[in-house]
Amino acid sequence: MFDGFYTHTKSVQRTNKFDIKACKRNIKLMKIRQFSLTGAVNDLALQIKFVDRESFQRINNYKALEKLGFEAKYKQLILLPESNSVLAGVEFSDKTKTADRYHKLNPYVLGANLYRQLPLSKTVAVQINELPGLLQNENSLRNIILGFIQASTQFTTFTKASEDSPANPVIGISMPLKRLLSGEDLKLIDSLNKGITRTRQLIDATPEEVNPSTIEKLIQDTFVENPNITIHAKNYEELSNLGAQGITYVGRASIHKPILTQVILKPKSEVKKKVVLVGKGVTYDSGGLDIKPDGHMKTMKCDMGGAATMCGTLKALAELGLEHTEVHWISAFVENMIDGSAYKPDDIITTLSGQTVEVVNTDAEGRLTLTDALTLASLENPDYIIDAATLTGACIFALTEHYTALMGNDEELNQELQSHFESEQERSQYVAMPEILRTSLAGDLSDLKNIPDFKFGGHVTAGLFLSHFINQKNFRNPGLEINQPQEYSWVHLDIAGSSYNKRNNDIDAVGSTGHGVRSLVSWIRSIDSNR
Ligand code: BES
Ligand code: ZN
Ligand code: ZN
């Protein structure tokens, strides 16, 4: 009889399967290459002229160019090698009959489109030389530049950097146009670029690079040497002791145990407003025991997109500095995985708020981790809580991949945030949370269950679920000692579709989009300057 198996096992050294400490690796984020904005661009730079129909027709040989098919239409481009220049069309005609508020001339798209169509492999410098009147304002120019730089951004860790692409490409602005931008505008472009780039880096990184073991160090690297920033973290043991089961149950089957981080940006002067940003930080969503079916798991590295969006927003704000607004960013980082310790349907979780939640489906994990993150946000006694989360596939079914679903408990705040999404031309759609659906989340053995027993409007019921953790009247953990229960002004952003692109479109290539950072920065800056 073959007994090799038995003799073999004798010589096997038994070690612990995983050494968690060894997993706490110090990882650098993916290397990036992108055009950078510079003041000085020499004459050899490729000269870019944005033209509408009228300014095009003022060009001497415009008829000859027309014969070649160039009519100055939005996103049309023609290269004029003899003058080392490019004409980029901006003439926009809205022939659609839909009431699409976002269907208009989009400077960010113009910039991105310019990058994608230029013969850039050997171009070291590009200069924006001319803009039609319509785009001659600081916001349009800012977004053209940002769109261009973001489209040029490549993550090169895992690719063979192409040998003929320039090492340090730059984009500049000609002297007359430079007058449009003050020093402050340049600072804003640079800060937004840093923030958006960081958001995208975190999302596009592999789950080996960004996970609950690596994230604390990555956050420290993001905010390094900023005296107005403080970073706090609670590890798995601390979260367990605290009773944050919404986080610990979901993340406990991973070799990378959960961690909660809180980053605080102090303003320069006295604090007058306080904003808490909360981001879903599921660094990988396998679905857990309710494992995702074929094809649905791929791209689930993006399930920390909410956390990354808030990280990028805070990064941009930290670079800019705020006068009177204190901003917090709270995220629970977990990996939704499977082993013998995996949480299960039928488990009842006691969240930090004291409310109990029956697990019906382990793939509705984001809302469970958000319960405790939102409770901690409420305990900060803020003026506003904004959360961003790649929360539901239903959001994509309902609104397509292009929209962020915006919900909330304060009509005025909903509208205010929406107006910032609109002015930055980042697509968001207000979605009502009908009170009539609230009872569908009532548990049989618990306060709540994590999903209702019907499938429609999953993004709406997810929003309703979260709302229980904003209103302290629902809280019943005696340890929290809440004397006067508050309900905070809160907006929930479901970015399941908008933060990650599965296919190229005219704004973004495949991968992370950085969507939301510009709008959130714009809103927080408006609070900071208005109140
Ligand atoms: N992370 C997903 C949502 C998601 C789907 C984000 C597609 C980005 C792209 C979330 O955790 C999830 O799995 N939601 C389930 C909920 C369901 C079990 C009620 C969904 O939407 O299918
Ligand atoms: Zn899930
Ligand atoms: Zn998820």
Dump pLDDT digits (tens) for 85-131. 999 999 998 877 788 889 999 999 999 999 999 876 666 899 999 99
CA distances (Å), 502 to each of 86, 112, 262, 394, in order?
30, 17, 30, 16
Give pLDDT, residue 21: 44
* CA 239 remoteness from chain centre: 25
pLDDT for residue 512: 97
Active-site residue, selected from the candidate residues 315, 367, 518, 525: 367
- Tell me, yes or no, if 301 is annotated catalytic: no
Phi and psi based region of residue 481 (left: phi greater than 0; alpha: psi -120 to 50; beta: remaining)? left
Q: What pTM was computed for the model?
A: 0.94
Is 292 a catalytic site residue?
Answer: yes
Distance, CA of 323 to CA of 273 (rounded, Å): 10
pLDDT of residue 163: 53
| Identity of the residue numbered 360 | V
Q: Is 356 strand, coil or helix?
A: strand
Q: Give yes or no for a contact between 383 and 276, defined as CB atoms under 8 angstroms apart.
A: no
pLDDT of the residue at 13: 42
Structure-token pair, residue 69: 């098919």
Which atom of ligand 1 is nearest the CA belonging to 285?
1
Contact 49/87 with Cβ under 8 angstroms?
yes
For the chain, the helix, strand and coil percentages under 3-state DSSP, each to the nearest 5 = 35, 20, 45
The pocket around ligand 1, CB under 6 angstroms, is made up of 285, 303, 361, 363-366, 390-394, 451, 458, 496
Three-state DSSP class for residue 34: coil
Q: What's the pLDDT tens digit per position in 123-162?
A: 689 999 999 999 999 999 999 999 999 999 988 777 766 5
CB 228 within 8 A of CB 325: no
Regions of the chain short of the pLDDT cut 70: 1-26, 40, 120-123, 160-166, 531
- Between CA 487 and CA 472 the distance in angstroms is 6
- Determine the distance separating the centroid of ligand 3 and the alpha carbon of 430, expressed in angstroms: 21
Q: Using one digit for the tens of pLDDT, what is the confidence trace for 286-309?
A: 999 999 999 999 999 999 999 999
| Confidence at residue 523, expressed as pLDDT on a 0 to 100 scale | 98
Residues present in the chain in total: 531
Give the pLDDT of residue 121. Answer: 64
Q: What is the pLDDT of residue 367?
A: 99
Rg of the chain, C-alpha, whole Å: 25
Task: Please tell me the distance between residue 400's alpha carbon and the centre of ligand 1 in angstroms.
Answer: 14
- Do 160 and 80 contact (CB within 8 A), yes or no? no
Neighbours of ion ligand 2 (CB under 5 A): 285, 363, 365
Helix, strand, or coil (residue 110): helix
Tell me if 314 sits within 8 A of 219, measured CB to CB.
no
Q: Identify the pLDDT of residue 166.
A: 62
Separation of alpha carbons 145 and 133, rounded Å? 17
